[in-house]
Amino acid sequence: MREAAAEVLAIGDELTHGFAIDTNSAHIARELEQLGFVMRAFTVVSDEPHAVCDAIRNACSRAEVVIATGGLGPTEDDRTRAAAAAAAGVELRFDADSWDRIARWFAGRGVQPPERNRVQAYLPESAEVLRNDWGTAPGFAMRIDGALLFSLPGVPREMKNMLSELVLPRLRAEFGDLGTTAFHELRLLGMAEAELGQGIAHLMPSDRNPNVGITAHSGLLTVRIAARAATIDDARALAERDAAEVRAQAGAHLLYEGSERIEERAGKLLIEKGMTLALAESCTGGMVAAELAGVPGISAVLLAGYVTYADMAKVRDLEVPASLLVAHGAVSVEVAASMAVGAARRTGARLGVAVTGIAGPSGGTPEKPVGTVCFGWCLDGHAESWRLRLPDLGRRFVRERSTIEVCAAILRRL
């Protein structure tokens, strides 16, 4: 199993100005690592022609395969074609076939092909055209300094399609012996990152295979394992050995394993179990419903959601007794339970779940500081509730952490 390095290059002023975030490179990295390539670096570079040319040259001098995204559009700031030609020391040539395809793309939409899109058909002399069936900009492949450079559009949908349809099959044919990388993710809630890190420190040296790391997002810890081996079975077995150690450390804090987001996982479980659900949300303001609604098929079980900031809405829509609100306040375990019961009863759902809390920045008191969130749970008529005191790491954190708490409850309790 030989080692081949790949690099990714994202091109665009919108990235270096910080107007947009590069998400293409992460997608490409995952795909290439599964083909067995080793990823050591991404580069993000502005549209400035010399900077693009240098970045292409440098990446091609370090890696066997370089995938560049962006800079293939019809506008003045799309310079990848010329920069790649300069890096290879060749001229641009007009590719009549590509111009034909661009013209037909426009014609198919009843539009005269704009003359300015013609620049998209000028490609480096030595390049092989990569047909773009999902947009106007053709990509191209060429050798520079012994490396194989692929240039793809920056539009994620076009990039992803061209990568999987054109680039990956080509790499598979040309680099057959690289082995593969298996990925495994374990998700934990309720454990401190430092504690977990201490427990699995021996798995985490950066030059070890598998490569193991921890990331934290809104309180949810993810242990990620990337294992390289000659075959996918070997890679998976290698990853599984480390996963077993992580499980032992995580104990009851382990929520689930896999690459799905927690909201997706919770939504799929509800659908699988046919568990009808009604949501009552105050501080999360519909975030739980919106996240679950991202899962195709959820409409079969998510009967209704109520965003009830106002006390009046809690009384009217969820039949929370006004006396309860007066006695305990809207942010209380008592009101949370009552909201969950009300949502389930109103809709006939088997499960009612409620969130009421103080997301900040204002609204906190000494007894109920910002970050106090109460959760209600009513399954088949049996109501429970609990409270979290989250650190005040901002409104967004409190709302996201609360949404995770609801999804975790679904995963743990159903």
State which residue, 126 or 222, has the beta carbon closest to a second copy. Answer: 222
Backbone angles phi, psi at 313, to 5 degrees: -65, -35
Quote the CA–CA distance of 313 and 260 in Å, as a whole number: 34
Q: b or e along 230-247 (b: 16 or more beta carbons within 10 Å of the residue's beta carbon)? A: eeeebbbebbeebbebbe
Among 45, 127, 255, 351, binds a second copy (CB under 8 A): 45
- With a CB cutoff of 8 Å and minimum separation 6, the contacts of 81 are 71, 72, 92, 119, 122, 123, 124, 140, 151
Site for a second copy in 318-347 (CB under 8 A): 346-347
116 binds a second copy (CB under 8 A): yes
CB of 254 to a second copy, least distance (A): 18
Ordered alpha helix ranges (H), 72-229: 80-88, 96-107, 156-162, 168-174, 193-199
Site for a second copy in 363-392 (CB under 8 A): none
Site for a second copy in 121-150 (CB under 8 A): none
- With a CB cutoff of 8 Å and minimum separation 6, the contacts of 121 are 94, 95, 96, 98, 99, 102, 138
By rule CB under 8 A, what string of x and - marks binding of each residue 180-209 to a second copy?
---x-x--------x--xx--xx-xxxx--
Among 94, 294, 412, 414, binds a second copy (CB under 8 A): 294
316 binds a second copy (CB under 8 A): yes
CB of 302 to a second copy, least distance (A): 6
State which residue, 64 or 291, has the beta carbon closest to a second copy. Answer: 291
Site for a second copy in 61-90 (CB under 8 A): 73-77, 79
State which residue, 205 or 381, has the beta carbon closest to a second copy. Answer: 205
92 binds a second copy (CB under 8 A): no
Contact yes or no for 280/303 (Cβ under 8 A): no
Quote the CA–CA distance of 80 and 73 in Å, as a whole number: 9
Candidates 41-49, 145-153, 168-176, 332-340; binding stretch for a second copy (CB under 8 A):
41-49
Site for a second copy in 245-284 (CB under 8 A): 279, 281, 283-284
44 binds a second copy (CB under 8 A): yes
Among 4, 36, 47, 325, binds a second copy (CB under 8 A): 47
For residue 67, give both structure tokens: 């995938």
Query: Coil, helix or strand for 85?
Result: helix
